[in-house]
């Protein structure tokens, strides 16, 4: 079964994450991304959807107030940075309540609840889809898909970043701090103000650096304690 869905969210970064997650799920079909609830209401007047990804803190009309205006609302998954509205939101029979930043595997678990009358996706199916998680980056006026599992490490170059994979290096304009927030829940670790690494790709490490594909990557002084703690749990 295909689910037509919309996003109601005013934060561009959150929209980007949700759009990327939705693209990775074959049975989700994104109809629109609305910046506020009024835009969503106008869209719903002429379009039928099965699912809404809804932020709570929206301009003009709050998410739960928006839900209260709908006579026959579609299924709803809350996406928010605030945990304190969880109980109230379940009065609207929401499917799930996701806290930002939303990890893809957690997103899949919410999607898995969409139709309890059907067999849920197996754990292996969830894992297989999660392993195909990707992001799009703007390169030479094109959007290039990069699978997260292919990334070895990411290097900051002032306002640009260089994404290192086994087969190629890609340079694009993207703040490293924003990318750190996006990837922190996806088995990546910031070890230096200029480097984010894939934890799965680390081959060796010591007190001063980690080794990935034969490359020595320094651990920043202010990151040492956290990095050593994380790595000690992995190895």
pLDDT at 93: 84
Model pTM score: 0.55
Same domain for 75 and 55:
yes
- How many angstroms separate the CA atoms of 147 and 145, rounded? 7
Same domain for 183 and 165:
yes
- Spatial neighbors of 231 by CB under 8 A, at least 6 apart, are 199, 202, 205, 210
Same domain for 176 and 124:
no
Whole domain around residue 230: which residue ranges? Answer: 134-234
The fraction of the chain above a pLDDT of 70, given in percent, is: 91
Same domain for 205 and 101:
no
pLDDT at 42: 95
- How many angstroms separate the CA atoms of 159 and 165, rounded? 20
Q: Above 50 in pLDDT, residue 118?
A: no
* pLDDT 10s digits, 128-158: 555 567 777 888 878 788 888 899 999 999 8
Structural domain ending residue among the three candidates 87, 112, 130? 130
Same domain for 108 and 54:
yes
Same domain for 67 and 23:
yes
Average of per-residue pLDDT across 157-178:
89
Average of per-residue pLDDT across 190-212:
93
Burial status of residue 214 (CB atoms within 10 A of its CB: 0-12, 13-18, 19 or more): exposed
Same domain for 152 and 109:
no
pLDDT band at 77 (very low <50, low <70, confident <90, very high): very high
* pLDDT 10s digits, 3-52: 999 999 999 999 999 999 998 888 899 999 999 999 999 999 999 999 99
Q: How many domains does the chain have?
A: 2
Cα angle, residue 130 at apex, residues 136 and 149 outer, rounded to 5°: 60
- How many angstroms separate the CA atoms of 186 and 199, rounded? 9
Comparing C-alpha atoms, which of 63, 36, 55 is closest to residue 99?
55
Q: Above 90 in pLDDT, residue 177?
A: no
Comparing C-alpha atoms, which of 186, 218, 213, 191 is closest to residue 202?
213
First to last CA, the chain: 42
CATH number, domain containing residue 167:
2.40.50.1020
């Amino acid at each position: 079964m295909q689910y037509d869905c919309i996003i109601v969210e005013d934060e561009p970064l959150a929209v980007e994450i949700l759009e990327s997650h939705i693209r990775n799920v074959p049975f989700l079909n994104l109809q629109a991304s609305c910046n506020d609830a009024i835009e969503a209401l106008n869209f719903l007047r002429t379009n039928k959807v099965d699912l809404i990804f809804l932020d709570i803190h929206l301009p003009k009309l709050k998410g739960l107030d928006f839900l209260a205006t709908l006579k026959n609302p579609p299924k709803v998954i809350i996406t928010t940075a605030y945990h304190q509205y969880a109980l109230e939101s379940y009065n609207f029979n929401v499917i799930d309540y996701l806290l930002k930043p939303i990890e893809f595997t957690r997103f899949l678990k919410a999607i898995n609840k969409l139709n309890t009358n059907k067999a849920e996706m197996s754990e292996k199916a969830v894992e297989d889809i999660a392993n195909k998680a990707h992001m799009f980056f703007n390169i030479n006026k094109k959007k290039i898909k990069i699978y997260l599992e292919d990334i070895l490490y990411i290097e900051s170059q002032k306002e640009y970043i260089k994404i290192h994979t086994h087969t190629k290096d890609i340079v694009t304009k993207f703040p490293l701090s924003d990318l750190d927030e996006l990837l922190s829940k996806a088995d990546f670790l910031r070890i230096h103000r200029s480097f984010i690494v894939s934890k799965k790709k680390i081959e060796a490490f010591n007190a001063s650096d980690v080794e990935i594909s034969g490359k020595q990557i320094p651990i920043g002084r202010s990151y040492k304690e956290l990095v050593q703690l994380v790595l000690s749990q992995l190895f």
